[in-house]
């Protein structure tokens, strides 16, 4: 490769990163502050800390919202922290979750539980959130979740398949965070790193209805011949671990939006994130309609 070609490719990379950076694209998509309640900022992913930094600066400086009514936590990948004033930043493992992510997710859920109807819960999601927010389903340990993550990453499963399994082994993914924050208003802003930009796949969809099922999670495990811990196998058969679905009232005050970053997928080819047995459909989350990949029964 010539020096000129290398410089050109590096300039393309820098331009793409700058376009997707929260400093460039987040502010226009932030909601108005709550009239009387608190602002709770819950962020996760590789851009979690920088999204929280931009958001709190927007509310403190541009909207003149009092800092004593802002609190929150941002869980991000190790090495991706940045300074914040009101939001605590936690660095955690990625792609394999760790104890720091476990503690950060517990704090996130506790803040969501504390939200009242007059509060605004601002959820900031970016790539890596699935690993950074780790809240195992009852009976599943951190070691079990680490084992599942390694197995899914090694087997060649598509990201939507990986997240289908993750969501059914979690107390925060697959809409559960919105359920914990209800009846507060929940506004989610996501920066997508998944083909198709499906809100139910970005960060494993902690604040949106989950169209996938426990049965599909089990079929993915079978399809990829995964050897999983016994506790995980039991959890994937436990009805209580079924995720909140479209139409559930916990989503009545929840919305999802995303900056108009260039799409990773093309109309000419199916994105790699499309799991086997899925087909294209049009879906609406919040007030916007998107092209998404919704699951159909897996092949037998």
Q: What pLDDT is attached to residue 1?
A: 87
pLDDT category at 25 given cuts 50, 70, 90 is confident
CATH of the domain at 32: 3.40.50.10180
- 198: which DSSP letter? -
Minimum mean pLDDT among 72-81, 131-140, 196-205: which range? 196-205
Q: What pLDDT is attached to residue 164?
A: 97
In the predicted structure, residue 260 carries a pLDDT above the cut 90: no
In the predicted structure, residue 262 carries a pLDDT above the cut 70: no
Query: Within a domain: residue 251?
Result: yes
Query: Within a domain: residue 123?
Result: yes
pLDDT category at 261 given cuts 50, 70, 90 is low
Q: What is the mean pLDDT of residues 111-116?
A: 98
Query: Within a domain: residue 83?
Result: no
Q: What pLDDT is attached to residue 13?
A: 83
- 176: which DSSP letter? H
SS3 assignment, position 207: coil
User: What is the C-alpha to C-alpha distance for residues 277 and 271, in angstroms, rounded to an integer?
Assistant: 13
Query: Within a domain: residue 228?
Result: yes
Question: pTM for the whole thing?
Answer: 0.83
In the predicted structure, residue 121 carries a pLDDT above the cut 90: yes
Minimum mean pLDDT among 66-75, 171-180, 196-205, 244-253: which range? 196-205
Structural domain count, the chain:
1
User: What is the C-alpha to C-alpha distance for residues 140 and 231, in angstroms, rounded to an integer?
Assistant: 6
Query: Within a domain: residue 166?
Result: yes
Per the structure, the complete domain to which residue 46 belongs is given by 27-78+108-293
- Determine phi and psi for 122, rounding to 5 degrees: -100, 115
Query: Within a domain: residue 18?
Result: no
Is 188 or 291 the better-scoring residue by pLDDT? 188
Query: Within a domain: residue 19?
Result: no
For 92-104, the pLDDT digits (tens) are: 999 999 999 999 9
User: What is the C-alpha to C-alpha distance for residues 180 and 160, in angstroms, rounded to an integer?
Assistant: 23
pLDDT category at 17 given cuts 50, 70, 90 is confident
CB neighbours of residue 1 within 10 Å: 7
Q: What pLDDT is attached to residue 196?
A: 82
Minimum mean pLDDT among 134-148, 237-251, 280-294: which range? 280-294
For 286-297, the pLDDT digits (tens) are: 333 333 322 323
Q: What pLDDT is attached to residue 134?
A: 97
Query: Within a domain: residue 2?
Result: no
């Amino acid at each position: 490769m010539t020096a000129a070609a290398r410089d050109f490719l590096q300039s393309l990379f820098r331009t793409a990163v700058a376009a997707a950076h929260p400093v460039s694209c987040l502010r226009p998509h932030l909601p108005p502050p709550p009239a009387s309640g608190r602002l709770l900022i819950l962020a996760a992913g590789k851009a979690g800390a920088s999204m929280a930094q931009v958001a709190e600066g927007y509310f403190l400086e541009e909207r003149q919202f009092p800092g004593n009514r802002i609190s929150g936590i941002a869980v991000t990948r190790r090495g991706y922290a940045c300074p914040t004033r009101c939001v605590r930043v936690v660095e955690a493992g990625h792609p394999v979750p760790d104890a720091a992510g476990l503690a950060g997710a517990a704090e996130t859920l506790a803040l969501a539980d504390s939200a009242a109807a007059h509060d605004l819960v601002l959820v900031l999601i970016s790539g890596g959130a699935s690993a950074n927010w780790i809240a195992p389903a009852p009976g599943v340990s951190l070691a079990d979740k680490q084992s599942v993550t390694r197995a899914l990453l090694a087997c060649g499963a598509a990201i939507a398949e990986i997240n289908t399994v993750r969501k059914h082994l979690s107390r925060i993914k697959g809409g559960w965070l919105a359920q914990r924050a209800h009846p507060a208003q929940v506004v989610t802003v996501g920066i997508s790193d998944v083909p198709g930009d499906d809100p139910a796949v970005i960060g494993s969809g902690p604040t949106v209805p989950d169209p996938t099922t426990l049965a599909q999670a089990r079929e993915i495990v079978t399809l990829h011949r995964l050897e999983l811990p016994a506790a995980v196998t039991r959890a994937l058969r436990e009805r209580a671990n079924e995720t909140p679905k479209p139409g559930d009232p916990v989503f009545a005050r929840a919305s999802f939006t995303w900056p108009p970053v260039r799409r990773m997928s093309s109309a000419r080819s199916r994105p790699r994130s499309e799991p086997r047995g899925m087909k294209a459909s049009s879906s609406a989350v919040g007030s916007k309609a998107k092209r998404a990949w919704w699951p159909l029964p897996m092949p037998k």
